[in-house]
Chains A and B, each alone.
Chain A
């Protein structure tokens, strides 16, 4: 046997100089992929909970309607209102808005538009049924009542 008395080598130090780069890469990835909320929500919006949920398939086909008590009660009153884009509107304006949303889509996909209703738990059915009535009028029949998952 050869006599190589091994000297105990000191462990080489692992360079952590590239660690910040990796983390920054992750950071940028998250900053780019997570979308910031585009619109301010002007109404109170606590969505209800349910168990039999269905995922919304294509995000680009989804348009959101918010319903709830306005946050700025002094300005808009305490009754639940409908918010489209950035404004509180009357139910009568929904068909026009739906038409605008449909225009943004590809022609082939216009019938597949889904309306996600984000309605506050405290809202009453009156305003919700007004919205539904107008959506029928506008021929946007796929509706999704946005709700969270019940944790059992």
Chain B
């Protein structure tokens, strides 16, 4: 029997280890989705109570109807979705003191009525435009851009500092232009 010489154990080359680990890392980075928890916030009205009738003047209500074909009827006129924001802004702020538009932003109410057959996508589009109208008015009131306004609104840390100039302005804008959107029970025309 030929006696084998004891060979030294060859060193394992570990330089490709980093590549393997990187590959794994990138795989995880790509596949796990960071939850995008953003959306349009609304506050539902409390549970139905009996006989709470609120009287509103006709001129203070901005009626928006959205039917099951995604057609818009705003203040009894057919309207394209791209125009609703400007129209709502005009209605709420009423800079020319028009008799037909709202008395003041404090009085203005937007009433949105949909149909059970309305597509959710169209509904969100309209909600977004209406919210944008309010946000733009508030931003104007504060004297900042809409971009800046949204950043501030989404930054709870900044809002905590009640003494800061900008936060005071923000609160004032919220008070001067309250977000009042009322949603009516949907109709049952289209399925």
Identify the A interface with B (CB < 8 A).
16-17, 19-20, 23-24, 26-27, 30-31, 34-36, 48-57, 59, 62, 116-117, 119-126, 128-129, 132, 135-137, 139, 141-149
- The CA of A57 and the CA of B155, in the complex, are separated in Å by 9
Q: Which of B15, B20, B41, B125 contacts A54 (CB 8 A)?
A: B41
Report if A143-B32 is in contact (Cβ < 8 Å); known contacts: A52-B135, A55-B38, A125-B123.
no
Interface pair A52/B128, CB less than 8 Å apart:
yes
- The CA of A147 and the CA of B188, in the complex, are separated in Å by 26
> 3 shortest A-B CB distances, which residue pairs?
A126-B116, A23-B21, A20-B17
Q: Taking CB as reference atom, which chain A residue is nearest B17?
A: A20
Residues of A within 8 A of B156 (CB): 57
Interface pair A125/B118, CB less than 8 Å apart:
yes
Q: Which of A55, A124, A132, A141 contacts B118 (CB 8 A)?
A: A124
Residues of A within 8 A of B48 (CB): 136
Residues of B within 8 A of A26 (CB): 25
Among B113-149, those with CB < 8 Å from A are 114-121, 123-125, 127-128, 131-132, 135
Report if A142-B41 is in contact (Cβ < 8 Å); known contacts: A27-B25, A48-B120, A125-B117.
yes
Interface pair A124/B116, CB less than 8 Å apart:
yes
Q: Which of B32, B39, B153, B185 contacts A147 (CB 8 A)?
A: B39
Q: Taking CB as reference atom, which chain A residue is nearest B123?
A: A125
The answer to whether the Cβ of B37 comes within 8 Å of any Cβ in the partner chain is yes
Residues of B within 8 A of A59 (CB): 37
Report if A145-B40 is in contact (Cβ < 8 Å); known contacts: A54-B153, A125-B116.
yes
- The CA of A59 and the CA of B38, in the complex, are separated in Å by 11
- The CA of A123 and the CA of B122, in the complex, are separated in Å by 10
Q: A19-B17, A27-B21 are in contact. List 16 more A-B contacts (CB 8 A).
A: A16-B18, A20-B20, A27-B25, A30-B28, A34-B28, A49-B124, A52-B128, A53-B154, A54-B39, A54-B41, A54-B153, A55-B154, A56-B37, A119-B120, A144-B41, A149-B38
Report if A54-B14 is in contact (Cβ < 8 Å); known contacts: A132-B44, A145-B127.
no
Interface pair B40/A50, CB less than 8 Å apart:
yes
Interface residues as binary, B29-68 with A (CB distance below 8 Å gives 1, 0 otherwise): 1001011111111111111100000000000000000001
Interface pair A53/B40, CB less than 8 Å apart:
yes
Interface pair B47/A129, CB less than 8 Å apart:
no
Residues of B within 8 A of A116 (CB): 37, 39
Question: Within the complex, what minimum Cβ distance (angstroms) separates A56 from chain B?
Answer: 4
Report if A34-B34 is in contact (Cβ < 8 Å); known contacts: A125-B116, A137-B47.
yes
Report if A146-B120 is in contact (Cβ < 8 Å); known contacts: A20-B18, A24-B21.
no
Question: Within the complex, what minimum Cβ distance (angstroms) separates B43 from chain A?
Answer: 6
The answer to whether the Cβ of B24 comes within 8 Å of any Cβ in the partner chain is yes
Q: Taking CB as reference atom, which chain A residue is nearest B68?
A: A124
Interface pair B120/A121, CB less than 8 Å apart:
yes
Question: Within the complex, what minimum Cβ distance (angstroms) separates A79 from chain B?
Answer: 10
Question: Within the complex, what minimum Cβ distance (angstroms) separates A70 from chain B?
Answer: 16
